[in-house]
A and B are shown apart, each in its own frame.
Chain A
């Protein structure tokens, strides 16, 4: 079952902030975040694990609420290079599947 992402799309000006949300109805072991540029493969940003461990890029921040099975990705002081589609992926505690949401299209304008 795909996790649910919101919003579907967001438009920013350079320097503005954005939050992308991800939620699941299943008990999660981890939440992954990836960014995809048009015509390219998704690229890893961050993983948040049950229990509080985080792995990923220093300039990206995210949170994982284990009680609510929700995660948020925080993009601060956005740059033009942040433009792309952001996907959250979830791993359930009971199996090894990594399933992704439908994505959030982020556009950063000058």
Chain B
């Protein structure tokens, strides 16, 4: 198993550009989540999904969009990048509530 994979590893965007961060898992996990990590702020939940076709907002959803058309994939879209979105983004999955969560390696995004 590859586990949770994320692409790209690094990305630099200009303000106003849009892009999609890719996330995939091969463990047949129903639950998937996106977090952003900023110094001193811990891991903050952006969006999450409890199965294909079902998504919901986390703590900091503004400026981000998600969809879940398959169990395996959970892409995160930045609609119009802003410098405040400079961060490290982690995708994660778990089989159900109360289960171990697996994290991807992260995407380091810089918005200039």
Contacts and interface: CB of A to CB of B under 8 A. Distances in A.
SS of B interface (majority): strand
Contacts, number: 67
Contacts of A40: 105
A49 B106 CA distance: 27
Contacts of A100: 35, 42-45
Contact of A44 (B45, B101, B104, B105): B101
Contact of B104 (A41, A43, A49): A41
Interface in A1-59: 1-2, 5, 29-30, 32, 34, 40-44, 47, 49, 55
B40 A96 contact: no
B24 interface: no
B42 A30 contact: no
Contacts of B106: 41
Among B42, B103, B106, max chain A CB count under 10 A is at: B42
A30 B101 CA distance: 12
Interface stretch (B10-18, B65-73, B75-83, B90-98): B90-98
A84 interface: no
Among A40, A55, A89, max chain B CB count under 10 A is at: A89
Interface of B: 31, 33, 35, 40-45, 48, 50, 56, 58-59, 90, 92, 94, 97-106
Interface of A: 1-2, 5, 29-30, 32, 34, 40-44, 47, 49, 55, 87, 89, 91, 95-103
Given A96-B50, A99-B59, 8 more contacts: A41-B90, A41-B103, A41-B105, A41-B106, A47-B98, A96-B48, A98-B101, A99-B44
